[in-house]
Amino acid sequence: MAPEPVPFIDGHNDVLLALHLAGDGAAPFLARRSEGHLDLERAREGGFAAGFFAVFVLPETEKERAATRIPDRKPPYAQPLAGPVPTEYALREAGAIIDLLDELAASGDVRVARRVDDVESALSGGPLTAILHFEGAEPIEPGLENLAELYERGLRSLGP
């Protein structure tokens, strides 16, 4: 019999973006899959208790997306930066991605971290806990008018 895995907190994953791009809702994460980086069952088997679930808004057009791809993936990297992402577009995309997190939470198998207690509970065997992280501040309005709403939706981490 294999030993019990040590519970851990994952520093970053792109599950929400992958689900968003696939367009199949949250169900693929909830079912065991043989492909992909992460699903609920394999995460639990490996000791994944909680993690920073990233919201990343891709550039608006395919032309802008293509301009930021690293062509050969060999160092040294010379990756151009995308232009600014319009706030309205970023907020719409981020909202759709957060909706997927809400769908995961509605399953009862995933909890959105609102307090430290939620993460501590996950480390003690509670539901897998998602710490909502924005990879970039594009969805936040320049005057921070929507920051409280995003906090209510679960935003707890912001970074580059």
For 129-148, the DSSP string reads: EEEEEEESSTTS-TT-TTHH
Task: Specify whether domain 8-159 bears CATH 3.40.50.2000.
Answer: no
Whether this prediction's pTM lies above 0.85 is answered by yes
DSSP H helices, 72-112, are: 87-106
Domain borders along the chain are 8-159
* Element holding 121 (H helix, E strand): helix 116-123
User: pLDDT by residue (tens digit) across 12-33?
Assistant: 999 999 999 999 999 999 999 8
User: pLDDT by residue (tens digit) across 24-83?
Assistant: 999 999 999 888 889 999 999 999 999 999 999 998 888 887 777 767 667 776 666 778
CA atoms within 13 A on the CB side of 9: 15
Structure tokens at 158: 């912001």
